[in-house]
């Protein structure tokens, strides 16, 4: 999903919700992780680095949080959002156009993870690692249910806060959200990114590059035994597009894209490693169209769906012969079904064709991802 399309989606999805309350607005607890391990979490030291085309004073700061297997849950459970000031900023800036009471309720959400707990004994060779990039403008905390489940199944998951890509606070307490980064403007002014045909492509490439560049330092900072031959990358929306692009790195073995449009480079050249694409598919009303406008709208959406299917089929065909690309649609889901929104921000899914329960959405996404990474990140002694 391009930046413009994501912005339009969020506006269209949330505007009617402000006047609609009731059962659809009820917040439910996050699901407990079901794997064999309890889960720990810790913030990692921020990584400061210069982009590939350095310039004096041009520094990017990447924040990250690790989620990992532990032997036994402790009493010190990690809060959903540790910084009360972050919630204050969400309210002040109308995060995702949500009402104040919905955002304020995030202070009461609890995770199942133990803060700063020692990791469980690692398997021979170390833990498999998954990098995770959130969607554009979405706080990394809003994927907690999914990353807890992955960690409970024996993966270390490092969730990235790309500079000015999500919604976070820097070390000085300043809000980092889309639009605050001057890096692209400076490069554009110097005609240094003439090969990129859109802000979307530029952002996808920047996120992929910085994730791969920071990976060795993030592994060291985690102090966890990681099997460097078993590293995957997944993301949501633009983060998923970045994951597909980063698959070209020799450090990444497999990648998964949750409902993200591919970059132009991916659409033209395919994906370098085995990949999984999960696509939302909102339900269409079984009732006849109320008028011509509704009928035309349904026809346009159907045509867009067919074009999307052809695009992903083409990407699979353009990938190398030994690369297996898998695309799965999730009927009754929405673009934000891949986040915690069904549990903690259900207003965002009201009247969007989402017919699955919050639990069903969560189980479908987590099961498909776990099946994919169990196969593609299996120890090399096993079949590919």
Count of CB atoms situated within 10 Å of the CB of 74: 14
Range 282-304 average pLDDT: 80
**Of the candidates 181, 168, 170, which has an alpha carbon nearest to the alpha carbon of residue 89?**
168
DSSP 253-301: -EEEEES-PPPHHHHHH--SS-EEEEEEEPPPPSSPPSSHHHHHHHHHH
pLDDT tens digits for 206-246? 899 999 999 999 999 999 999 999 999 999 999 999 999 99
Looking at the chain, the whole-number percentage of residues with pLDDT higher than 90 is 64
Structural domains of the chain in order of their starting residue, each with its CATH number: 3-286+295-376 (3.40.50.1820)
Q: Which class for 177: exposed (0-12), middle (13-18), buried (19 or more C-beta within 10 A)?
A: buried
Name the pairing type of β-strands 60-70 and 38-49.
antiparallel
Weakest-pLDDT range from 59-68, 146-155, 172-181: 172-181
The whole-chain average pLDDT of the chain stands at 85
Element (H, E) at 369: helix 358-376
Q: Round to whole Å and give the CA distance between 344 and 341.
A: 5
Query: What mean pLDDT comes out for the span 123-141?
Result: 96
Report pLDDT digits (tens) over 306-345.
899 999 999 999 998 899 999 999 999 999 999 999 999 9
Q: Is the pLDDT of residue 172 over 70?
A: yes
Write phi, then psi, for 98 (nearest 5 degrees). -90, 150
Q: What is the pTM of this model?
A: 0.87
Cα(362)–Cα(262) distance, integer angstroms: 23
């Amino acid at each position: 999903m391009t930046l413009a399309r994501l912005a339009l989606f969020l506006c269209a999805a949330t505007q009617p919700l402000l006047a609609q309350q009731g059962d659809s607005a009820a917040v439910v607890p996050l699901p407990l992780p079901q794997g064999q391990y309890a889960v720990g979490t810790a913030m990692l030291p921020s990584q400061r680095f210069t982009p590939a085309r350095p310039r004096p004073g041009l520094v990017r700061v990447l924040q990250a949080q690790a989620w990992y297997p532990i032997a036994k849950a402790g009493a010190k459970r990690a809060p959903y959002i540790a910084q009360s000031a972050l919630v204050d900023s969400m309210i002040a800036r109308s995060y995702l156009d949500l009402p104040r009471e919905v955002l304020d309720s995030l202070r009461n959400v609890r995770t199942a993870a133990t803060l700063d707990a020692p990791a469980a004994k690692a398997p021979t060779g170390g833990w498999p690692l998954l990098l995770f990039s959130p969607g554009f403008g979405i706080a990394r905390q809003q994927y907690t249910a999914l990353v807890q489940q992955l960690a409970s199944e024996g993966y270390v998951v490092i969730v990235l806060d790309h500079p000015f890509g999500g919604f976070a606070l820097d070390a000085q307490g300043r809000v980092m959200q889309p639009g605050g980064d001057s890096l692209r403007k400076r490069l554009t002014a110097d005609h240094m990114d003439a090969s990129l045909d859109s802000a979307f492509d530029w952002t996808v490439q920047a996120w992929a590059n910085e994730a791969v560049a920071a990976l060795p330092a993030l592994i060291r900072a985690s102090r966890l035994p990681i099997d460097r031959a078993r590293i995957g990358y997944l993301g949501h929306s633009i983060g998923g597009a970045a994951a597909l692009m980063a698959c070209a790195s020799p450090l990444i073995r497999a990648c998964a894209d949750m409902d993200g449009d591919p970059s132009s480079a991916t659409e033209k050249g395919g994906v370098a490693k085995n990949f999984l694409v999960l696509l939302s598919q909102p339900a269409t009303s079984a009732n006849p169209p109320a008028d011509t406008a509704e009928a035309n709208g349904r026809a346009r959406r159907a045509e867009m769906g067919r074009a999307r299917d052809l695009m992903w089929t083409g990407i699979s065909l353009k990938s190398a012969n030994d690369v297996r690309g898998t695309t799965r649609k999730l009927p009754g889901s929405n673009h934000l079904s891949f986040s915690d929104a069904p549990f903690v921000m259900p207003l965002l899914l009201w009247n969007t064709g989402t017919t699955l329960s919050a639990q069903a959405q969560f189980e479908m996404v987590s099961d498909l991802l776990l099946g994919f990474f169990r196969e593609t990140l299996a120890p090399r002694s096993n079949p590919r």
